[in-house]
Chain A
Amino acid sequence: MMKVILEVKERHKPNLPIEAECITPKNFLDPERAFHVWKGNKELDISDVFHVRKDGNAKSAEQVEIIIRGNSANIKRVGEYMDGGKILIEGDIGMHCGNFMSAGLIEIKGNADSWLGREMNGGKIVCHGNAGDYAGSGYRGEKKGMLGGHIEIMGDAGDFAGETMAGGEIIIHGNAGDMPGVDIRDGRLTIMGDCSRPCGNMSGGECRIFGTAYDMLPTFRNEGLTSVESTPVTRFSGDYISRGLGTIYVANYKYME
């Protein structure tokens, strides 16, 4: 087992974002490797930003655990292309955490910023706080977002959670913002709390809302009552703007007045 502890140093301007796509378990397997992060257009060594401590040895990425401590709310792209192992973030984390990850686990004790797990296709992300906008979505212009894997957000999520989602599962224990699951084509999106305008232009997949869906879109057809996990819900099919092949189960819904 290898344990890598990255403690964020005191930063003069903590709001300046750092791009740290090098932080993935696999990269720490190579003892010779140099780690660079970017601050604006300046390339810095990882030791300029973090106190790095490495204990133990590992043969594969699965045996590596990275722990990030300190004020990491503006460290972006942590775990990009991660394909195994574990990253534990003890505080908040910046945007694009877990981009394109295919295996492994990222656990965030604090809040995650926008684009959590964007276009991921495997592995698991657990966020104990809130997540920003576009959790599990595709990036600008991309037709497919998350393709597989699992995102669990214990707090609230921002707007556009699971936009263009094409596989995998997102569970939001709190509320989601506006337009969750817009353009969703496959996979499952579960929202335990409330949201508004869910799943516009849905062309497949499933969305379950156990709170209230405000401003429910009129392009979904009410298919009657049913139950999901012993909760009484209404089933909607849609979006009939896009062939109507998706399903929403919603406990309560309100149309726009």
Chain B
Amino acid sequence: MKTLLVKNAYVIDPIQNISGEIMDIAVRDGKIVDDVKNPDDVIDAAGMLTLPGGIDSHTHICGTKVNFGRYMSPEDMRAGRTSRKGDMHATSGYSVPTTYGNSYRYSRMGYTTLLEGAMAPMEARHTHEEFRYTPLQDCLANTLFDGNWFALEAIENGDIKRLAGILAWYLSAAKGFGVKLTNPGGTEAWGFGEDVSCIHKPIPHFGITPREIIVKMIEANEMLNLPHSVHLHCNNLGKPGNYLCTLDTYNAIPDLNDKRQSLYSTHVQFHSYGGSSWNDFCSKAEDIAHSVNEKPQIVIDTGQVMFGKTTTMTADGPMEFNLYRLYHNKWSNHDVEMETGSGIIPVLYRKKNLVNAIMWSIGLELGLLVDDPWQCILATDNPNGAPFVKYPEVIALLMSKEYRDKEFETLHKSTGKRVALPAIERERTWDDIAVMTRAAQARALGLIDYGKGFLTEGAEADIAIYPISVDTTDPAREYERIINGFATTEYTIKRGDIVCRRGTCTLEGNHSTYWVKPHVPAAYDMSTDSEFIDGFNKYYSMRIANYPVGEEYIGRNVCMESEASL
């Protein structure tokens, strides 16, 4: 019976409609409770902003492609080294740090839950093994289905229930959390030496369009009653003029769930490009934000780009090839048999590069122009837009027009003609930021039922206490204080344990891996479906019996069971 009392905290908790109340938070056995008598530990959080633990709903921190990023950029390993200190392991790496590096740096910023954005089911073991060594955060992994042959076949045959059965089998076999589509159909077409232009042209071999893949996957996903919606990386990432394709996709999305969105559209910054080539490249964030404002069934994350060195990694192989042709730098391309692919290249975003400056502006425009903060999540798609350690700067940029203008001055001179950012007066409030960094994530991922994202009775005791006094700080002027305040918490509390104190992490966390197990009727249970088993054994280089990740790979696991309505 371990107890803790956080006294006099200045709490913002958007899920419970608490905005700036001075409260005491009592914790017993890792859960928030009404009251504790004679607490073992007391924290006086007077004058400090206290929020639920941060949730990153799209990051790349564990798994084969992250690891490949590590070993193709040994110079990045030299860029961010910290030595062993107390309980903390030595870490290295800046844009793709070691697992402990990720965990400590996230914890320092008050993050307690992380969603790995893309896990190829066949390579899931690696992701789970790395999750075990990310000790201070709960981890979840989106599972890639963009080029899954069995799923594509089911869509081709118009059998959505079978598609749902296939999703269910793969998700629980890979111990994944949500359905991730990356450039649906595109990576598969790339395997045949082709690419997709938008969502209406059929892909080779299967003869179905990306639009069909997206819509059917969403329908199947909702049939399984999973906590999270389909997590979509749209087609045509990073191509000038792709905003039309993004709008087309959004218009096709049905509204199927009254509790949360039906589509989580990720790193939208990369999908809001106007123009017909890099010469007349411009921002179309207004059109995209307008579309999102009209569609409550869609939640986006911004995919903010920040200047500096980073490594891009995605399952979108063709897009990485295009980037490689721009930069002529190192490039890796990888095919995961029957399922998906991936590409990795290191990049440097520069202020004096017009395209990069426009990209930076588009992310901020999206963050400001989407009316409802619950529909607009703050993320850099770490490390694609920028390493996650840049989050405090992104927060400050969203909160301060003055800071934005000051930064804008340093960019390429022509940026102002291509973007709307200088005309946007809006400044995000403390409440908006609390929504955009944790509450919206908790709702979009369906984690509220599992006690995440809020601070009242019954919640997991994931608490971030920042040394920022809301009453005496004017975010529009004192943006330096915002950056410093959000960069290092006074305390980060994970399941009732203080895991980080002013940047020094104190112990191995009490962390879990969350995964879903949808129960489907026997007719759609793929583990006994002879056609599926035959196909599997025929086409994979791996036997079906060896494929599922055993529970022994997962330390403390939380199985999220659901009953499918098939």
Residues of A within 8 A of B (CB): 139-143, 242
- Complex: how many Å from CA A140 to CA B74? 6
Interface bits B72-95 vs A (CB < 8 Å: 1, else 0): 111110000000000000000000
Contact between chains at A141 and B73 (CB < 8 Å): yes
Contact between chains at B329 and A143 (CB < 8 Å): yes
Docked complex: B281-331 residues within 8 A CB-CB of A: 328-330
Show 13 residue pairs from A and B whose CB-CB distance is below 8 angstroms, ordered by the A residue.
A139-B74, A139-B75, A140-B74, A140-B75, A141-B72, A141-B73, A141-B74, A141-B75, A141-B76, A141-B330, A142-B75, A143-B329, A242-B328
- Complex: how many Å from CA A141 to CA B78? 10
Starting from the known contacts A141-B75, A141-B330, 6 additional A-B residue pairs (CB-CB under 8 Å) come to A139-B74, A139-B75, A140-B74, A141-B73, A141-B74, A141-B76
Q: How many residues of B contact A (CB 8 A)?
A: 8
For B75, list chain A residues within 8 Å (CB).
139-142
- Complex: how many Å from CA A197 to CA B488? 52
A64 CB, nearest partner CB in chain B, Å: 29
- Complex: how many Å from CA A242 to CA B328? 9
- Complex: how many Å from CA A143 to CA B347? 13
- Complex: how many Å from CA A140 to CA B72? 9
- Complex: how many Å from CA A222 to CA B329? 27
- Complex: how many Å from CA A142 to CA B76? 9
For A242, list chain B residues within 8 Å (CB).
328
Interface bits B318-352 vs A (CB < 8 Å: 1, else 0): 00000000001110000000000000000000000
Interface bits B422-466 vs A (CB < 8 Å: 1, else 0): 000000000000000000000000000000000000000000000
For B329, list chain A residues within 8 Å (CB).
143
Docked complex: B104-143 residues within 8 A CB-CB of A: none
For A143, list chain B residues within 8 Å (CB).
329
- Complex: how many Å from CA A143 to CA B330? 9
- Complex: how many Å from CA A242 to CA B76? 24
Select from chain B the residue with minimum beta-carbon distance to A140. Answer: B74
- Complex: how many Å from CA A140 to CA B75? 7
Select from chain A the residue with minimum beta-carbon distance to B72. Answer: A141
For B328, list chain A residues within 8 Å (CB).
242
Select from chain B the residue with minimum beta-carbon distance to A203. Answer: B328
- Complex: how many Å from CA A141 to CA B328? 14
B292 CB, nearest partner CB in chain A, Å: 39
- Complex: how many Å from CA A129 to CA B431? 69
- Complex: how many Å from CA A143 to CA B76? 12
Docked complex: B34-83 residues within 8 A CB-CB of A: 72-76
A59 CB, nearest partner CB in chain B, Å: 34
For B72, list chain A residues within 8 Å (CB).
141
Select from chain A the residue with minimum beta-carbon distance to B346. Answer: A141
For B76, list chain A residues within 8 Å (CB).
141
For A139, list chain B residues within 8 Å (CB).
74-75
For B330, list chain A residues within 8 Å (CB).
141
- Complex: how many Å from CA A139 to CA B79? 13
A125 CB, nearest partner CB in chain B, Å: 23
B324 CB, nearest partner CB in chain A, Å: 13
